């Protein structure tokens, strides 16, 4: 006995044949709601009313097996209403008004998705292929109707059909999902293009800014050099001597001019680095000599603040193949920061070999120190520990950004060790020999 009760449309003009089918159902314990019609027109009328009732969810309703009937006592019911969802059409090939092939075509034209089994008469076997081609699920010769085989054919036709529908529904969902993905992909591609465009625009404005910075710094340097040159000339007091107050004023012009020139030079360096216009020039150098020379150049700053400034160089071999200008600029930046941010105590510059191939240079001060949350920010351009306008120490916020770029160009790295109120140590590690 079948578990589900199927709804079947039996189309046959021959009462005896219809009876044979019904008897076979009974014998096979096959539970079905049978709607009987006698010709093609009636069949189409029944199916057409179903087609009208069938909304877009029709296919899914058909997959739903909710029609399982718990009460199997009345195995064969004859349908009283004509507009119900059929699970299958059992179709006599020879009908008085239309042949089976044409009827199958008409049923298909109704857009009804349901399996059709064709009952063929004697001698109709040769058109079986045509029947299957036309879209029938199966065919059974009327002369060979056996209760079990008929029930089996119907059950498997319906099951196969439902399975096909389920696969189709899944496929449909996959197709919809795919389309959605495609749309999303297109949207992402559009966004990617937009981001690309924005990036280009950003790069353009970035380049413009760098160019502007370079031009401005360059243009500012000329008058600054003139101001400093003339104030230096005046300080020589030749041919006429100056009063003490005049000397004092001119010295201040000179000092401020020097600060301004340092800042302009920093900006020029930074814009050159950004534009990739600063070339590294490695050559043999004596690091011991270079450190001591640089320290002496800055000694006056230490003296002004009464700070000690010493070196401790522990190099077995003090010769390097590196860019001496880059090392010197980095050292000047670190040293002037150390002296700037230290009010008592002093600054020490050390150098040693980490390995044969790597050299470390460290600048340690006993100054204000750097809060740990600021330590990774200070290497960013224009970043300062104290960003307020009322800050105590002058500067552009470019020194460490420039130093880091220079050290990176030398294939090295720069590290900071600091504690607020305790002082700071900046360590530069570079290869002894620059290898392009």
H/E stretch holding 426 reads: strand 423-431
Q: Which of 259, 237, 263, 321 is nearest to 287 (CA)?
A: 321
Nearer to ligand ADP, 367 or 412 (CB): 367
CA 404/CA 365 separation, integer angstroms: 19
Q: How far is CA 131 from CA 75, 103, 138, 150, in A?
A: 30, 11, 8, 18
Q: Is 384 in the site for ligand ADP (CB under 6 A)?
A: yes
Nearer to ligand ADP, 285 or 400 (CB): 400
CB of 327 to ligand ADP, least distance (A): 16
CA 35/CA 79 separation, integer angstroms: 5
Q: Is 267 in the site for ligand ADP (CB under 6 A)?
A: no
Q: Is 424 in the site for ligand ADP (CB under 6 A)?
A: yes
Could you say which of 385, 409, 427, 433 contacts ligand ADP (CB under 6 A)? 385
Q: Is 368 in the site for ligand ADP (CB under 6 A)?
A: yes
Q: How far is CA 36 from CA 43, 322, 367, in A?
A: 9, 101, 104
Site for ligand ADP in 322-341 (CB under 6 A): 333, 337-338, 341
Q: Is 400 in the site for ligand ADP (CB under 6 A)?
A: yes
| Among the residue ranges 22-30, 98-106, 181-189, 393-401, the one whose residues contact ligand ADP (CB under 6 A) | 393-401
Q: Is 2 in the site for ligand ADP (CB under 6 A)?
A: no
| Among the residue ranges 27-35, 79-87, 125-133, 380-388, the one whose residues contact ligand ADP (CB under 6 A) | 380-388
Report the Cα–Cα distance between both ends of the chain, in Å, rounded: 86
CB of 241 to ligand ADP, least distance (A): 38
Q: Return the structure tokens found at 304.
A: 């002004």
| Cα dihedral 381→385→391→393 (10° resolution) | -80
Nearer to ligand ADP, 234 or 362 (CB): 362
CA 142/CA 421 separation, integer angstroms: 105
Nearer to ligand ADP, 98 or 400 (CB): 400
Cβ atoms of 296 and 302 closer than 8 Å: no
* Partner residues linked to 413 by β-bridges: 429
Site for ligand ADP in 53-92 (CB under 6 A): none
Cβ atoms of 11 and 95 closer than 8 Å: yes
Q: Is 40 in the site for ligand ADP (CB under 6 A)?
A: no
CB of 380 to ligand ADP, least distance (A): 8
| Among the residue ranges 29-37, 248-256, 277-285, 395-403, the one whose residues contact ligand ADP (CB under 6 A) | 395-403
Number of residues that bind ligand ADP (CB under 6 A): 21
| Sheet containing 346-353, strands listed edge to edge, beginning at the edge strand earlier in sequence | 308-314, 346-353, 358-365, 423-431, 413-419
Q: At what angle do helices 15-27 and 147-235 cross, to 10 degrees?
A: 70
Could you say which of 127, 157, 335, 378 contacts ligand ADP (CB under 6 A)? 378
Q: Is 396 in the site for ligand ADP (CB under 6 A)?
A: yes
CA 239/CA 223 separation, integer angstroms: 24
Nearer to ligand ADP, 288 or 425 (CB): 425
Could you say which of 399, 412, 414, 428 contacts ligand ADP (CB under 6 A)? 399
DSSP annotation of 393 reads S
Residues that bind ligand ADP (CB under 6 A): 333, 337-338, 341, 365, 367-368, 370, 378, 383-386, 395-401, 424
């Amino acid at each position: 006995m079948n578990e589900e009760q199927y709804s079947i449309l039996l189309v046959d003009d021959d009462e005896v044949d219809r009876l044979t089918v019904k008897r076979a159902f009974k014998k096979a314990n096959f539970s079905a709601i049978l709607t009987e019609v006698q010709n093609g027109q009636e069949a189409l009328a029944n199916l057409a009313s179903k087609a009208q009732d069938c909304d877009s969810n029709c296919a899914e309703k058909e997959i739903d097996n909710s029609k399982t009937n718990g009460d199997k006592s009345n195995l064969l019911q004859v349908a009283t209403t004509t507009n119900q969802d059929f699970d299958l059409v059992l179709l006599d090939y020879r009908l008085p008004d239309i042949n089976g092939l044409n009827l199958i075509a008409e049923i298909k034209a109704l857009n009804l998705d349901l399996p059709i089994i064709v009952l063929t008469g004697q001698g109709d076997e040769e058109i079986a292929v045509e029947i299957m081609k036309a879209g029938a699920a199966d065919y059974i010769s009327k002369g060979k109707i056996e209760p079990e085989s008929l029930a089996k054919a119907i059950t498997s036709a319906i099951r196969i059909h439902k399975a096909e529908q389920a696969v189709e529904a899944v496929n449909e969902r996959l197709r919809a999902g795919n389309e959605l993905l495609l749309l999303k992909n297109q949207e992402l591609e559009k966004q990617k293009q937009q981001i690309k465009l924005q990036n280009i625009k950003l790069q353009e404005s970035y380049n413009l800014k760098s160019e502007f910075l370079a031009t401005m710094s360059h243009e500012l340097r000329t008058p600054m050099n003139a101001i400093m040159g003339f104030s230096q000339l005046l300080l020589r007091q030749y041919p006429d001597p100056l009063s003490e107050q005049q000397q004092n004023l001119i010295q201040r012009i000179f000092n401020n001019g020097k600060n301004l020139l340092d800042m302009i030079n920093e900006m020029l360096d930074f814009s050159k680095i950004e534009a990739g216009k600063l070339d590294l020039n490695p050559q043999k150098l004596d690091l011991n000599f270079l450190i001591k020379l640089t320290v002496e150049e800055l000694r006056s700053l230490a003296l002004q603040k009464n700070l000690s400034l010493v070196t401790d160089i522990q190099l077995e071999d003090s010769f390097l193949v590196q860019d001496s200008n880059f090392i010197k600029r980095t050292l000047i930046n670190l040293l002037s920061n150390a002296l700037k941010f230290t009010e008592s105590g002093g600054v020490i510059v050390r150098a040693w070999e980490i390995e044969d191939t790597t050299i470390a240079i460290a600048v340690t001060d006993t100054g204000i120190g750097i809060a740990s949350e600021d330590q990774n920010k200070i290497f960013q351009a224009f970043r300062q520990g104290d960003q307020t306008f009322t800050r105590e120490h002058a500067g552009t916020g470019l020194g460490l950004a420039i130093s880091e770029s220079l050290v990176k160009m030398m294939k090295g790295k720069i590290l900071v060790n600091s504690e607020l109120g305790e002082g700071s140590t900046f360590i530069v590690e570079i290869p002894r020999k620059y290898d392009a």
